[in-house]
A and B are shown apart, each in its own frame.
Chain A
Amino acid sequence: DQQVKQNSPSLSVQEGRISILNCDYTNSMFDYFLWYKKYPAEGPTFLISISSIKDKNEDGRFTVFLNKSAKHLSLHIVPSQPGDSAVYFCAATGGFKTIFGAGTRLFVKA
């Protein structure tokens, strides 16, 4: 059962524009959500997170929005840079176990 879904396998964006990556979840017991970025031949690296008691968290060019009623979260990157090209994983946790989505590959074109 896919408790965390990233329905877009890939996204292509022009440099300087906004990138929006989406994620849906099914388990209402999740209380913390995270985004990780992964480059080839490396492990995922933590990017930004949000608690279920908030609806927005911002860190520089990265903002995560949480809509609990829709069980949906999104990651906004603005402005997008070529170095942002990577695979982005959405993850959710409600205890010891963290569930990851399948990832979205972002291409930022110069």
Chain B
Amino acid sequence: DTGVSQDPRHKITKRGQNVTFRCDPISEHNRLYWYRQTLGQGPEFLTYFQNEAQLEKSRLLSDRFSAERPKGSFSTLEIQRTEQGDSAMYLCASSRQGNEQFFGPGTRLTVL
């Protein structure tokens, strides 16, 4: 058990570019979550997968955001046509059946 991993750890991009982040959850965890965190705030829920099914999406997740978990293992979060307001830490978490979530280290996105 190596924990939740996220790649890349840092991403700097220009406004208008597309970016994709990857999350590898703990292997036996069937639930996967994406959050966004900005300075001085707690993590904000973006979306939730149970196995490969995306069961809930936040209103924060605009049409420019899409998340997938094709085989119920790793997940990707893509942001199209990035805007400066997308700059944030993007956190991934996984869990088995309980409420306790295990977080990855996050991907820090900076949009110039």
Contacts and interface: CB of A to CB of B under 8 A. Distances in A.
Contacts of B104: 43
Contacts of B42: 4, 6, 89, 91, 100-103
Interface in A78-100: 89, 91, 93, 96-100
Interface string B19-48: 000000000000001010000111111001
Given A43-B4, A43-B91, A43-B93, A100 B44 contact: yes
Interface residues of A, number: 24
B74 interface: no
Contacts of B48: 96-97
Interface size class of B (residues with CB under 8 A): 20 to 34
Contacts of B4: 43
Nearest to A98: B45
A62 interface: no
A100 B93 CA distance: 13
B100 interface: yes
Interface of A: 4, 6, 9, 32, 34, 36, 41-46, 49, 89, 91, 93, 96-103
Interface of B: 4, 33, 35, 40-45, 48, 55-56, 58, 91, 93, 99-106
A1 to B, nearest CB: 12
Given A97-B45, A98-B33, A46 B106 contact: no
23 contacts: A4-B42, A6-B42, A34-B99, A36-B103, A41-B105, A42-B105, A43-B91, A43-B103, A43-B106, A44-B91, A45-B102, A45-B103, A46-B100, A46-B101, A49-B99, A93-B99, A97-B48, A97-B56, A98-B45, A98-B99, A100-B42, A102-B40, A103-B40
B97 to A, nearest CB: 13
